[in-house]
Protein backbone atom coordinates (compact mmCIF):
# COMPACT_ATOMS: atom_id res chain seq x y z
CA UNK A 1 0.00 0.00 0.00
CA UNK A 2 1.13 3.55 -0.70
CA UNK A 3 2.51 5.52 2.24
CA UNK A 4 0.07 8.38 1.52
CA UNK A 5 -3.48 8.18 0.20
CA UNK A 6 -5.79 10.96 -0.91
CA UNK A 7 -9.59 11.05 -0.88
CA UNK A 8 -12.11 13.70 -1.71
CA UNK A 9 -14.10 12.81 1.42
CA UNK A 10 -12.92 11.16 4.62
CA UNK A 11 -15.15 10.03 7.47
CA UNK A 12 -13.09 9.69 10.65
CA UNK A 13 -14.73 7.14 12.92
CA UNK A 14 -16.42 3.81 12.31
CA UNK A 15 -19.60 3.98 14.39
CA UNK A 16 -23.27 4.52 13.64
CA UNK A 17 -22.77 8.02 12.22
CA UNK A 18 -20.12 6.78 9.79
CA UNK A 19 -22.41 4.08 8.40
CA UNK A 20 -25.33 6.43 7.91
CA UNK A 21 -23.07 9.09 6.37
CA UNK A 22 -21.74 6.48 3.94
CA UNK A 23 -25.27 5.54 2.93
CA UNK A 24 -26.14 9.18 2.29
CA UNK A 25 -22.95 9.70 0.26
CA UNK A 26 -23.94 6.67 -1.83
CA UNK A 27 -27.44 8.11 -2.35
CA UNK A 28 -25.87 11.40 -3.42
CA UNK A 29 -23.81 9.62 -6.09
CA UNK A 30 -20.31 9.59 -4.62
CA UNK A 31 -17.86 8.20 -7.18
CA UNK A 32 -15.71 5.10 -6.58
CA UNK A 33 -12.50 6.00 -4.77
CA UNK A 34 -13.76 9.39 -3.54
CA UNK A 35 -14.80 8.34 -0.03
CA UNK A 36 -12.97 6.54 2.78
CA UNK A 37 -13.97 5.59 6.32
CA UNK A 38 -11.04 5.40 8.71
CA UNK A 39 -11.73 3.48 11.91
CA UNK A 40 -9.54 2.12 14.68
CA UNK A 41 -12.12 -0.50 15.58
CA UNK A 42 -11.58 -4.13 14.62
CA UNK A 43 -11.83 -7.51 16.31
CA UNK A 44 -9.03 -9.96 15.51
CA UNK A 45 -9.40 -13.71 15.77
CA UNK A 46 -6.61 -15.68 17.39
CA UNK A 47 -5.60 -16.97 13.97
CA UNK A 48 -3.87 -13.72 13.07
CA UNK A 49 -1.39 -11.85 15.21
CA UNK A 50 -2.32 -8.26 15.99
CA UNK A 51 1.03 -7.12 14.61
CA UNK A 52 0.47 -8.78 11.24
CA UNK A 53 -3.06 -7.36 11.03
CA UNK A 54 -2.34 -3.98 12.60
CA UNK A 55 -3.60 -2.10 9.53
CA UNK A 56 -5.71 -3.87 6.94
CA UNK A 57 -6.88 -1.61 4.12
CA UNK A 58 -9.96 -2.78 2.30
CA UNK A 59 -8.96 -0.79 -0.79
CA UNK A 60 -11.27 0.25 -3.58
CA UNK A 61 -8.61 2.15 -5.46
CA UNK A 62 -6.49 -0.96 -6.01
CA UNK A 63 -9.07 -3.69 -6.67
CA UNK A 64 -12.36 -4.02 -8.46
CA UNK A 65 -15.55 -5.07 -6.64
CA UNK A 66 -15.19 -8.76 -7.54
CA UNK A 67 -11.63 -8.92 -6.21
CA UNK A 68 -12.64 -7.11 -3.03
CA UNK A 69 -15.51 -9.54 -2.46
CA UNK A 70 -13.08 -12.45 -2.85
CA UNK A 71 -10.65 -10.81 -0.41
CA UNK A 72 -13.45 -10.36 2.08
CA UNK A 73 -14.38 -14.04 1.88
CA UNK A 74 -10.78 -15.07 2.56
CA UNK A 75 -10.23 -12.73 5.49
CA UNK A 76 -13.71 -13.15 7.00
CA UNK A 77 -12.92 -16.77 7.80
CA UNK A 78 -10.13 -15.62 10.11
CA UNK A 79 -10.94 -12.07 11.07
CA UNK A 80 -13.97 -10.11 12.14
CA UNK A 81 -14.13 -7.00 9.95
CA UNK A 82 -16.11 -4.48 11.93
CA UNK A 83 -17.90 -2.32 9.42
CA UNK A 84 -20.19 0.25 11.11
CA UNK A 85 -22.91 -1.39 13.20
CA UNK A 86 -25.85 -0.42 15.40
CA UNK A 87 -24.25 0.00 18.83
CA UNK A 88 -27.50 -0.19 20.88
CA UNK A 89 -27.56 -3.93 20.16
CA UNK A 90 -24.52 -4.41 22.40
CA UNK A 91 -26.38 -3.64 25.63
CA UNK A 92 -29.52 -5.46 24.55
CA UNK A 93 -29.74 -8.46 22.22
CA UNK A 94 -26.00 -9.18 22.17
CA UNK A 95 -26.10 -10.28 25.81
CA UNK A 96 -29.19 -12.47 25.66
CA UNK A 97 -28.60 -16.00 26.97
CA UNK A 98 -30.51 -17.47 24.00
CA UNK A 99 -30.82 -16.31 20.39
CA UNK A 100 -28.29 -13.56 20.99
CA UNK A 101 -27.74 -10.90 18.33
CA UNK A 102 -24.50 -11.27 16.40
CA UNK A 103 -22.90 -9.61 13.42
CA UNK A 104 -23.59 -9.41 10.56
CA UNK A 105 -27.17 -9.19 11.84
CA UNK A 106 -27.00 -5.61 13.11
CA UNK A 107 -24.71 -3.74 10.74
CA UNK A 108 -26.09 -0.31 9.85
CA UNK A 109 -28.57 0.68 8.62
CA UNK A 110 -30.96 -1.98 10.01
CA UNK A 111 -31.64 0.10 13.13
CA UNK A 112 -33.80 2.46 11.09
CA UNK A 113 -35.26 -0.20 8.83
CA UNK A 114 -32.68 0.21 6.06
CA UNK A 115 -30.40 -2.13 4.15
CA UNK A 116 -27.74 -4.01 6.11
CA UNK A 117 -24.36 -2.66 5.01
CA UNK A 118 -21.86 -5.52 5.14
CA UNK A 119 -18.19 -4.86 4.28
CA UNK A 120 -18.85 -5.88 0.68
CA UNK A 121 -21.57 -3.21 0.42
CA UNK A 122 -18.86 -0.56 0.80
CA UNK A 123 -16.77 -2.29 -1.87
CA UNK A 124 -19.71 -2.37 -4.26
CA UNK A 125 -20.29 1.36 -3.72
CA UNK A 126 -16.60 2.17 -4.21
CA UNK A 127 -16.17 3.27 -0.58
CA UNK A 128 -12.89 2.32 1.06
CA UNK A 129 -12.95 0.91 4.58
CA UNK A 130 -9.66 1.52 6.34
CA UNK A 131 -10.02 -0.53 9.50
CA UNK A 132 -7.89 -1.15 12.58
CA UNK A 133 -6.24 2.20 11.91
CA UNK A 134 -5.87 4.69 14.74
CA UNK A 135 -5.35 8.30 13.74
CA UNK A 136 -2.96 9.96 16.19
CA UNK A 137 -2.56 13.36 14.53
CA UNK A 138 -4.95 15.59 12.64
CA UNK A 139 -3.65 18.72 10.90
CA UNK A 140 -6.79 20.49 9.76
CA UNK A 141 -4.89 23.35 8.11
CA UNK A 142 -2.89 20.90 5.98
CA UNK A 143 -5.90 18.57 5.57
CA UNK A 144 -3.80 15.62 6.70
CA UNK A 145 -4.39 12.69 9.05
CA UNK A 146 -1.55 10.53 10.37
CA UNK A 147 -2.01 7.01 11.73
CA UNK A 148 -0.19 5.29 14.59
CA UNK A 149 1.65 3.21 11.98
CA UNK A 150 2.86 6.34 10.18
CA UNK A 151 0.48 6.26 7.20
CA UNK A 152 -0.85 9.62 6.04
CA UNK A 153 -4.22 10.43 4.51
CA UNK A 154 -5.15 13.68 2.84
CA UNK A 155 -8.62 14.91 1.99
CA UNK A 156 -10.71 17.77 0.68
CA UNK A 157 -13.64 17.35 3.07
CA UNK A 158 -13.44 15.79 6.55
CA UNK A 159 -16.40 14.45 8.48
CA UNK A 160 -15.54 13.93 12.16
CA UNK A 161 -17.59 11.05 13.57
CA UNK A 162 -15.28 9.92 16.35
CA UNK A 163 -18.07 9.51 18.91
CA UNK A 164 -17.23 9.11 22.59
CA UNK A 165 -15.11 6.90 24.79
CA UNK A 166 -16.13 5.40 28.13
CA UNK A 167 -15.02 7.00 31.36
CA UNK A 168 -12.98 4.41 33.27
CA UNK A 169 -12.41 4.15 36.99
CA UNK A 170 -8.69 3.83 36.29
CA UNK A 171 -8.89 7.44 35.03
CA UNK A 172 -9.46 8.48 38.65
CA UNK A 173 -6.89 6.14 40.16
CA UNK A 174 -9.53 4.04 41.91
CA UNK A 175 -7.75 1.34 43.92
CA UNK A 176 -7.87 -2.06 42.19
CA UNK A 177 -9.76 -0.73 39.16
CA UNK A 178 -7.38 -2.56 36.82
CA UNK A 179 -8.40 -6.00 38.17
CA UNK A 180 -9.62 -8.66 35.75
CA UNK A 181 -13.36 -8.78 34.98
CA UNK A 182 -13.93 -5.09 35.64
CA UNK A 183 -15.56 -4.38 32.31
CA UNK A 184 -16.96 -1.53 30.22
CA UNK A 185 -19.22 -1.45 27.18
CA UNK A 186 -18.75 0.75 24.15
CA UNK A 187 -17.55 -1.41 21.26
CA UNK A 188 -18.14 -4.96 20.13
CA UNK A 189 -14.79 -6.04 21.55
CA UNK A 190 -16.05 -4.91 24.97
CA UNK A 191 -19.26 -6.87 24.46
CA UNK A 192 -17.30 -10.00 23.53
CA UNK A 193 -15.25 -9.68 26.73
CA UNK A 194 -18.44 -9.33 28.75
CA UNK A 195 -20.02 -12.37 27.09
CA UNK A 196 -16.88 -14.42 27.80
CA UNK A 197 -16.91 -13.33 31.46
CA UNK A 198 -20.62 -14.15 31.82
CA UNK A 199 -20.01 -17.64 30.47
CA UNK A 200 -16.90 -18.21 32.57
CA UNK A 201 -18.53 -17.13 35.84
CA UNK A 202 -21.97 -18.69 35.31
CA UNK A 203 -24.48 -18.05 38.06
CA UNK A 204 -22.12 -15.70 39.86
CA UNK A 205 -22.42 -12.28 41.42
CA UNK A 206 -22.32 -9.12 39.34
CA UNK A 207 -22.03 -5.52 40.48
CA UNK A 208 -23.11 -2.84 38.02
CA UNK A 209 -21.71 0.61 38.76
CA UNK A 210 -23.92 3.36 37.36
CA UNK A 211 -27.66 3.96 37.23
CA UNK A 212 -28.05 5.35 33.72
CA UNK A 213 -28.75 3.67 30.37
CA UNK A 214 -25.87 1.22 30.61
CA UNK A 215 -26.50 0.43 34.26
CA UNK A 216 -30.19 -0.34 33.76
CA UNK A 217 -29.84 -2.29 30.52
CA UNK A 218 -26.86 -4.35 31.67
CA UNK A 219 -28.43 -5.11 35.04
CA UNK A 220 -31.42 -6.56 33.18
CA UNK A 221 -29.19 -8.52 30.80
CA UNK A 222 -27.17 -9.99 33.66
CA UNK A 223 -30.34 -11.07 35.47
CA UNK A 224 -31.50 -12.78 32.28
CA UNK A 225 -28.19 -14.66 32.43
CA UNK A 226 -29.09 -15.83 35.96
CA UNK A 227 -26.64 -13.59 37.79
CA UNK A 228 -27.07 -12.20 41.29
CA UNK A 229 -27.02 -8.48 40.39
CA UNK A 230 -26.45 -5.38 42.50
CA UNK A 231 -26.63 -1.95 40.88
CA UNK A 232 -24.76 0.90 42.61
CA UNK A 233 -25.05 4.61 41.86
CA UNK A 234 -24.52 7.88 43.77
CA UNK A 235 -27.70 9.71 42.75
CA UNK A 236 -30.98 9.61 44.72
CA UNK A 237 -32.68 7.67 41.90
CA UNK A 238 -31.84 5.98 38.60
CA UNK A 239 -31.60 7.87 35.28
CA UNK A 240 -31.67 11.25 37.07
CA UNK A 241 -30.94 13.28 33.93
CA UNK A 242 -34.26 12.14 32.43
CA UNK A 243 -36.46 10.40 35.00
CA UNK A 244 -38.41 12.18 37.69
CA UNK A 245 -38.45 10.59 41.15
CA UNK A 246 -41.90 9.14 40.37
CA UNK A 247 -40.81 7.55 37.09
CA UNK A 248 -37.63 6.20 38.65
CA UNK A 249 -39.60 4.67 41.54
CA UNK A 250 -41.44 2.43 39.07
CA UNK A 251 -38.26 1.11 37.43
CA UNK A 252 -36.44 0.61 40.70
CA UNK A 253 -39.37 -1.39 42.11
CA UNK A 254 -39.75 -3.36 38.89
CA UNK A 255 -36.04 -4.23 38.89
CA UNK A 256 -36.22 -5.19 42.56
CA UNK A 257 -39.11 -7.54 41.76
CA UNK A 258 -36.87 -9.11 39.10
CA UNK A 259 -34.16 -9.72 41.70
CA UNK A 260 -31.87 -6.72 41.09
CA UNK A 261 -30.60 -5.20 44.33
CA UNK A 262 -30.18 -1.42 44.21
CA UNK A 263 -27.74 0.56 46.33
CA UNK A 264 -28.16 4.33 46.03
CA UNK A 265 -26.25 7.32 47.32
CA UNK A 266 -22.74 5.88 47.26
CA UNK A 267 -19.86 5.07 44.93
CA UNK A 268 -17.18 2.42 44.48
CA UNK A 269 -13.89 3.49 46.03
CA UNK A 270 -11.87 0.31 45.57
CA UNK A 271 -11.77 -3.33 44.53
CA UNK A 272 -10.29 -6.49 45.98
CA UNK A 273 -8.85 -9.19 43.73
CA UNK A 274 -7.78 -12.80 44.22
CA UNK A 275 -4.34 -14.28 43.57
CA UNK A 276 -5.10 -14.48 39.83
CA UNK A 277 -5.96 -10.80 39.66
CA UNK A 278 -9.69 -11.46 39.24
CA UNK A 279 -12.01 -9.04 40.99
CA UNK A 280 -13.73 -10.56 44.03
CA UNK A 281 -15.23 -7.60 45.89
CA UNK A 282 -16.32 -3.98 45.48
CA UNK A 283 -15.65 -1.55 48.32
CA UNK A 284 -18.20 1.25 48.63
CA UNK A 285 -17.73 4.70 50.11
CA UNK A 286 -20.40 4.04 52.73
CA UNK A 287 -18.29 1.16 54.09
CA UNK A 288 -20.18 -1.74 52.55
CA UNK A 289 -18.32 -4.46 50.66
CA UNK A 290 -20.09 -6.35 47.85
CA UNK A 291 -18.93 -9.72 46.57
CA UNK A 292 -18.41 -9.73 42.81
CA UNK A 293 -17.34 -12.15 40.09
CA UNK A 294 -17.97 -9.50 37.43
CA UNK A 295 -18.11 -5.72 37.68
CA UNK A 296 -19.57 -3.68 34.83
CA UNK A 297 -18.99 0.07 34.89
CA UNK A 298 -21.27 2.55 33.15
CA UNK A 299 -20.52 5.99 34.54
CA UNK A 300 -20.61 8.02 31.34
CA UNK A 301 -18.55 8.85 28.28
CA UNK A 302 -16.38 11.65 26.94
CA UNK A 303 -16.53 12.97 23.37
CA UNK A 304 -13.39 12.10 21.40
CA UNK A 305 -12.22 15.59 20.42
CA UNK A 306 -8.58 15.54 21.56
CA UNK A 307 -7.18 15.33 18.01
CA UNK A 308 -8.75 18.67 17.15
CA UNK A 309 -8.00 20.72 20.27
CA UNK A 310 -6.95 24.25 19.41
CA UNK A 311 -7.91 23.80 15.76
CA UNK A 312 -11.70 24.14 15.90
CA UNK A 313 -14.12 26.09 18.07
CA UNK A 314 -15.53 24.05 20.96
CA UNK A 315 -18.49 24.55 23.24
CA UNK A 316 -20.32 22.51 25.90
CA UNK A 317 -17.76 19.72 25.68
CA UNK A 318 -18.08 19.20 21.95
CA UNK A 319 -17.00 20.63 18.60
CA UNK A 320 -19.13 23.66 17.77
CA UNK A 321 -20.98 23.45 14.46
CA UNK A 322 -23.62 25.34 12.53
CA UNK A 323 -27.03 23.92 11.58
CA UNK A 324 -25.37 22.00 8.73
CA UNK A 325 -22.71 20.52 11.05
CA UNK A 326 -19.84 22.49 9.53
CA UNK A 327 -17.26 23.51 12.11
CA UNK A 328 -15.33 26.76 12.40
CA UNK A 329 -12.88 25.28 9.87
CA UNK A 330 -14.35 25.35 6.34
CA UNK A 331 -14.65 21.88 4.87
CA UNK A 332 -14.55 20.17 8.27
CA UNK A 333 -17.81 18.78 9.64
CA UNK A 334 -18.61 17.09 12.97
CA UNK A 335 -21.60 14.84 13.70
CA UNK A 336 -23.05 12.62 16.40
CA UNK A 337 -21.73 12.64 19.97
CA UNK A 338 -18.91 15.11 19.28
CA UNK A 339 -21.04 17.89 17.78
CA UNK A 340 -22.44 20.86 19.70
CA UNK A 341 -25.07 22.23 17.33
CA UNK A 342 -27.95 24.75 17.26
CA UNK A 343 -31.07 23.05 18.65
CA UNK A 344 -33.61 25.00 16.61
CA UNK A 345 -36.63 23.94 18.68
CA UNK A 346 -35.20 25.47 21.84
CA UNK A 347 -33.00 28.19 20.32
CA UNK A 348 -29.83 27.07 22.06
CA UNK A 349 -26.64 25.09 21.47
CA UNK A 350 -26.69 21.49 22.64
CA UNK A 351 -24.68 18.30 22.42
CA UNK A 352 -26.71 15.09 22.19
CA UNK A 353 -25.41 11.58 22.85
CA UNK A 354 -27.91 9.26 21.23
CA UNK A 355 -28.04 6.92 18.26
CA UNK A 356 -31.02 8.73 16.70
CA UNK A 357 -29.11 12.01 16.53
CA UNK A 358 -25.99 10.22 15.26
CA UNK A 359 -27.97 8.85 12.31
CA UNK A 360 -29.78 12.06 11.48
CA UNK A 361 -26.87 14.46 11.96
CA UNK A 362 -24.71 12.32 9.65
CA UNK A 363 -27.33 12.42 6.92
CA UNK A 364 -27.78 16.18 7.36
CA UNK A 365 -24.05 16.86 7.10
CA UNK A 366 -23.64 14.82 3.91
CA UNK A 367 -26.64 16.49 2.27
CA UNK A 368 -25.15 19.87 3.21
CA UNK A 369 -21.72 18.92 1.82
CA UNK A 370 -23.07 17.80 -1.55
CA UNK A 371 -25.52 20.69 -1.83
CA UNK A 372 -22.82 23.23 -1.07
CA UNK A 373 -20.66 21.81 -3.86
CA UNK A 374 -23.49 22.26 -6.34
CA UNK A 375 -24.33 25.76 -5.15
CA UNK A 376 -27.63 24.66 -3.65
CA UNK A 377 -28.85 24.67 -0.06
CA UNK A 378 -30.58 22.36 2.38
CA UNK A 379 -32.89 23.25 5.29
CA UNK A 380 -31.29 23.78 8.68
CA UNK A 381 -31.19 20.80 11.02
CA UNK A 382 -34.44 20.59 12.93
CA UNK A 383 -34.14 17.90 15.56
CA UNK A 384 -36.66 16.63 18.09
CA UNK A 385 -34.75 15.06 20.99
CA UNK A 386 -35.55 11.35 21.26
CA UNK A 387 -34.40 8.71 23.73
CA UNK A 388 -35.53 5.15 24.30
CA UNK A 389 -34.63 1.99 26.16
CA UNK A 390 -35.69 -1.65 26.37
CA UNK A 391 -35.05 -4.06 29.24
CA UNK A 392 -36.83 -7.11 30.63
CA UNK A 393 -40.40 -6.78 29.28
CA UNK A 394 -40.27 -3.01 29.38
CA UNK A 395 -39.79 -0.41 26.68
CA UNK A 396 -40.06 3.36 26.93
CA UNK A 397 -39.69 6.35 24.62
CA UNK A 398 -39.16 10.01 25.40
CA UNK A 399 -39.45 13.04 23.11
CA UNK A 400 -38.69 16.70 23.60
CA UNK A 401 -37.36 18.48 26.67
CA UNK A 402 -37.75 17.36 30.30
CA UNK A 403 -38.06 20.84 31.80
CA UNK A 404 -40.82 22.40 33.89
CA UNK A 405 -43.53 20.62 35.86
CA UNK A 406 -43.86 16.86 35.29
CA UNK A 407 -47.33 15.30 35.24
CA UNK A 408 -47.56 11.51 35.68
CA UNK A 409 -50.46 9.56 34.20
CA UNK A 410 -51.50 5.94 33.65
CA UNK A 411 -50.73 2.69 35.43
CA UNK A 412 -47.29 2.88 37.04
CA UNK A 413 -47.79 -0.07 39.39
CA UNK A 414 -44.62 -2.20 39.01
CA UNK A 415 -46.63 -5.35 39.83
CA UNK A 416 -49.09 -4.83 36.95
CA UNK A 417 -49.07 -7.49 34.24
CA UNK A 418 -48.66 -4.83 31.55
CA UNK A 419 -47.89 -1.45 33.07
CA UNK A 420 -48.52 1.53 30.82
CA UNK A 421 -47.86 5.03 32.04
CA UNK A 422 -46.32 8.29 30.96
CA UNK A 423 -45.44 11.83 31.81
CA UNK A 424 -45.76 15.27 30.26
CA UNK A 425 -43.42 18.14 31.07
CA UNK A 426 -45.12 21.55 31.10
CA UNK A 427 -43.42 24.93 31.03
CA UNK A 428 -44.91 28.35 30.30
CA UNK A 429 -48.29 26.74 29.69
CA UNK A 430 -47.06 24.37 26.96
CA UNK A 431 -46.13 20.69 26.83
CA UNK A 432 -42.42 20.51 26.01
CA UNK A 433 -41.70 16.84 26.70
CA UNK A 434 -43.49 13.50 26.70
CA UNK A 435 -42.54 10.07 28.04
CA UNK A 436 -44.36 6.76 27.61
CA UNK A 437 -43.71 3.29 28.98
CA UNK A 438 -45.38 0.35 27.24
CA UNK A 439 -46.75 2.32 24.31
CA UNK A 440 -47.76 0.95 20.93
CA UNK A 441 -46.11 2.35 17.78
CA UNK A 442 -49.10 4.63 17.18
CA UNK A 443 -49.09 5.83 20.79
CA UNK A 444 -45.37 6.59 20.62
CA UNK A 445 -45.96 8.59 17.45
CA UNK A 446 -48.68 10.51 19.26
CA UNK A 447 -46.45 11.57 22.15
CA UNK A 448 -43.73 12.53 19.65
CA UNK A 449 -46.22 14.82 17.96
CA UNK A 450 -47.08 16.39 21.32
CA UNK A 451 -43.43 17.19 22.01
CA UNK A 452 -42.93 18.59 18.52
CA UNK A 453 -46.05 20.79 18.37
CA UNK A 454 -45.86 21.90 22.03
CA UNK A 455 -49.63 22.32 22.53
CA UNK A 456 -50.95 24.67 25.21
CA UNK A 457 -52.36 23.27 28.47
CA UNK A 458 -55.27 25.07 30.08
CA UNK A 459 -55.80 22.75 33.03
CA UNK A 460 -53.05 20.56 34.48
CA UNK A 461 -55.47 18.33 36.42
CA UNK A 462 -57.49 17.68 33.27
CA UNK A 463 -54.29 16.80 31.42
CA UNK A 464 -53.43 14.26 34.10
CA UNK A 465 -56.88 12.67 33.77
CA UNK A 466 -56.74 12.58 29.97
CA UNK A 467 -53.27 11.05 29.82
CA UNK A 468 -52.71 9.42 26.44
CA UNK A 469 -56.07 10.66 25.21
CA UNK A 470 -54.61 14.17 25.20
CA UNK A 471 -51.88 13.05 22.80
CA UNK A 472 -54.36 11.32 20.49
CA UNK A 473 -56.18 14.63 19.93
CA UNK A 474 -53.12 16.55 18.76
pLDDT in tens, 421-456: 999 999 999 999 999 999 999 999 999 999 999 999
pLDDT at residue 82 in the model: 85
Cα separation values, 90 from 125, 286, 425, 448, Å: 27, 32, 31, 26
List all residues 6 or more positions away from 222 whose beta carbon is below 8 Å from its beta carbon.
Answer: 95, 198, 206, 208, 229, 294, 296
Helix (H, G, I), strand (E, B) or coil at 417: coil
pLDDT at 71 > cutoff 80: no
pLDDT at residue 451 in the model: 98
Instruction: Tell me how far apart the alpha carbons of residues 128 and 33 are, in angstroms, rounded to a whole number.
Output: 7
pLDDT at 53 > cutoff 90: no
Per-residue pLDDT band at 55 (split at 50, 70, 90): very low
pLDDT at 28 > cutoff 80: yes
Instruction: Tell me how far apart the alpha carbons of residues 23 and 128 are, in angstroms, rounded to a whole number.
Output: 13
pLDDT at residue 51 in the model: 29
pLDDT digits (tens, 9 = 90+) for 324-344: 999 999 999 999 999 999 999
pLDDT at 225 > cutoff 80: yes
pLDDT digits (tens, 9 = 90+) for 30-51: 999 999 999 998 654 333 333 2
> Global pTM?
0.91
Task: Domains for the chain: give ranges and CATH numbers.
Answer: 4-165+303-373 (3.50.50.60), 169-299 (3.50.50.60), 393-472 (3.30.390.30)
Helix (H, G, I), strand (E, B) or coil at 380: coil
Mean pLDDT for the chain? Answer: 92
Average pLDDT over residues 373-388: 96
Q: Are 53 and 74 in contact (CB under 8 A)?
A: no
pLDDT at residue 219 in the model: 98
pLDDT at 74 > cutoff 50: no
Residue 373 backbone zone (phi > 0: left; psi -120 to 50: alpha; other: beta) = alpha
Per-residue pLDDT band at 410 (split at 50, 70, 90): very high
Instruction: Tell me how far apart the alpha carbons of residues 366 and 20 are, in angstroms, rounded to a whole number.
Output: 9
pLDDT at residue 44 in the model: 42
Amino acid sequence: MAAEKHFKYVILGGGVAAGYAAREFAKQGVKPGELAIISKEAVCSLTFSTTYMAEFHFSCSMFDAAMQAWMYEIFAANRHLVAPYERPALSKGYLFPQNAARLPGFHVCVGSGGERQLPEWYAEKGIELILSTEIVKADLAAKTLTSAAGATFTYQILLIATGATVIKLTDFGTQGADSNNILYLREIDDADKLVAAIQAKKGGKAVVIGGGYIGLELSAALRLNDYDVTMVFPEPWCMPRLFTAEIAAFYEAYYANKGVQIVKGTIAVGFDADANGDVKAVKLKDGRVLEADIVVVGVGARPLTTLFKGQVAEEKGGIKTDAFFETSVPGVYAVGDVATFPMKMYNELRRVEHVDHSRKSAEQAVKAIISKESGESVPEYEYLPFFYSRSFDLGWQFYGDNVGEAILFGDSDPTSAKPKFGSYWIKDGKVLGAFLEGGSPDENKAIAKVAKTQPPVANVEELKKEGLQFASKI
